[in-house]
Amino acid sequence: MLVKIYTDGAARGNPDGPGGYGTILSYTDSKGQTHIRELSQGYEKTTNNRMELMAVIAGLEALNRPCEVEIYSDSKYVVDAFNQHWIDNWIKKGWKRGKNETVKNTDLWKRLLEAAKPHRMTFIWVKGHDGHPQNERCDVLATSAADGSGRIADEGLAREGRL
């Protein structure tokens, strides 16, 4: 089954402000019917990159069986980590990059990799705020979650001592 996951993250006052993610899952069943599911969540204090990652994670974690997954994101951070094989190098180097610096958001990268295990994924970059309907909708979901009530704490950011 092919599932398309569209994602976006947002943070107000990055890196210390509220943020949120928006995710759309779309698949077409054997009868030709398209099914859409939207997900979003807001966080009290977070970063844009963490919200970009959470959007992908939420989409993958919502799947209940192995799928072929196309992930559409306007985040070069997320897309290039896979398409440019940065993540493979980070893992080989014990989650270090460049000048022996620790990779940021390791908790979420590990969670994403765990959620991805049963699936075959393809990452596709889309230009943000360029009229792509699903990307624009994900932006609305993400910013509404960032601005709305019901925000939760970003525990991983606090554990990393980045708040």
- Rounded Cα–Cα distance for residues 71 and 161 (Å): 30
Question: Is residue 147 among the annotated active site residues?
Answer: no
Catalytic residue selected from 20, 22, 59, 74:
74
Question: Is residue 129 among the annotated active site residues?
Answer: yes
Catalytic residue selected from 52, 59, 154, 156:
52
Question: Is residue 139 among the annotated active site residues?
Answer: yes
Answer for the pair 44, 153: CB distance below 8 angstroms, yes or no. Answer: yes
Q: Is 130 annotated as a binding residue?
A: no
Catalytic residue selected from 9, 19, 22, 59:
9
Catalytic residue selected from 13, 35, 129, 155:
129
Q: Is 68 annotated as a binding residue?
A: no
Whose CA is closest to 71, among 120, 131, 118?
A: 120
Q: Where are the alpha helices (DSSP H) in 16-147?
A: 48-61, 76-83, 86-92, 106-116, 133-147
Catalytic residue selected from 20, 22, 59, 139:
139
Question: Is residue 8 among the annotated active site residues?
Answer: yes
Question: Is residue 114 among the annotated active site residues?
Answer: no
Catalytic residue selected from 8, 19, 42, 154:
8
Answer for the pair 48, 22: CB distance below 8 angstroms, yes or no. Answer: no
Distances (CA, A) of 9 to 31, 54, 135: 33, 8, 10
Q: Is 114 annotated as a binding residue?
A: no
Q: Is 29 annotated as a binding residue?
A: no
Distances (CA, A) of 70 to 91, 100, 118, 124: 23, 32, 14, 7
Q: Which residues are annotated as a binding site?
A: 8, 52, 74, 139
Q: Which residues are annotated as a binding site for Mg(2+)?
A: 8, 52, 74, 139
**Catalytic residue annotation:** 8-9, 52, 74, 129, 139
